[in-house]
Amino acid sequence: MEAKAGERIPTGIEGLDMLIEGGLLKRTTVALLGQPGAGKSIFCENFVWEGLKRNDYVLYFVLDFPPWELARRMNRFKWDISPYKSEDPLRKRLYVVDAFSGSTDVPQQTFKEQLFVKNPSNLDEFFAVFDGLLQNVSSYASYDSVIRIVLDSVSPILSMTPDFSRVYRFLRRLVVRVNLVDNAVAIFTAHLGMHGKHIETSLKQLTGNTLELIRRIDEGETRKFLRIEHLRETYHTNKMIPYAIADEGFVINPQALI
Ligand SMILES: Nc1ncnc2c1ncn2[C@@H]1O[C@H](COP(=O)(O)OP(=O)(O)OP(=O)(O)O)[C@@H](O)[C@H]1O
Ligand SMILES: [Mg+2]
């Protein structure tokens, strides 16, 4: 069944949006899987920047690098996030949550983020921060405001929690939570090769939406492809979609499909 107009949220990666009926379906979570260095974070940064340009709300959970690096990373593409972090509630659109330092010896205050998960391997605390922020933002966002959520990446959580059933329950709670908010869409990234097959498969099953970044060496050259493994209620190609990281961020040329 085709989605109604307005039910999709453009990723901001134009070439991809053209291949997925205009964007990601609202009330869904997408698992973005790829090996380290594949471009997962840059994909998310594109998605976030698109949202900020559109006046969407963005909840960005940073787990893989210190949160202050986000501004620097995005500046590389000339995407200035500072105005959106404003404390003026009328202008504030970007909420960065430090879910990094709590799993290191670096004190939280070093990164000056007001929002943080004190102990990211405490999944109940993590969920409470996620749930609280989402509730808070959806309570004052107007009814048609889009809320974009990024968890980059879930791999530290998956790696620091040996109890699989707890991880599964945690991910399930997050996915269901996103699904309850009319205009929300989330991207959860994960590092391929870091987790057991059952964890990867669980992430795919729970979200029902999987994009995979694949690197292949052909005749001595590294080639990068995005594969749409599964996107709910979306007609999509099964071909390998070449992508590049360029000055404009994550770039897909739909004409270059092989
Ligand atoms: N301006 C740029 N032009 C071309 N390539 C770039 C540019 N900026 C970054 N890259 C490349 O992008 C890749 C890193 O992207 P990104 O940080 O999104 O990866 P990732 O999948 O999130 O990896 P990880 O989280 O493991 O570090 C690197 O291979 C880097 O060389
Ligand atoms: Mg990354």
**Mean pLDDT per 10-residue run, the chain (258 residues)?**
70 96 97 96 98 98 94 97 90 94 80 83 96 95 94 94 93 97 97 90 96 93 95 94 96 84
Q: What is the pLDDT of residue 178?
A: 97
User: Other CB atoms closer than 10 Å to residue 209's CB: what's the count?
Assistant: 25
The confidence score (pLDDT) of residue 4 equals 56
CA 84 – CA 6 distance, rounded (Å): 24
Q: Element (H or E) spanning 96, and its range?
A: strand 94-98
Instruction: Give the distance (Å) from ligand 2 centre to CA of residue 1.
Output: 34
Residue 250: per-residue pLDDT? 98
Query: For residue 194, what pLDDT is reported?
Result: 87
Residue nearest to atom 6 of ligand 1 (CA): 245
d(CA 211, CA 145): 25
Are the C-beta atoms of residues 200 and 190 closer than 8 Å to each other?
yes
Pocket test for ligand 1, best of 13, 32, 40, 215 (most atoms within 8 A of CB): 40
The pLDDT of residue 1 is 46
CB atoms near residue 186 (< 10 Å): 27
pLDDT for res 179: 96
Distance from the CA of 246 to the center of ligand 1, in angstroms?
A: 10
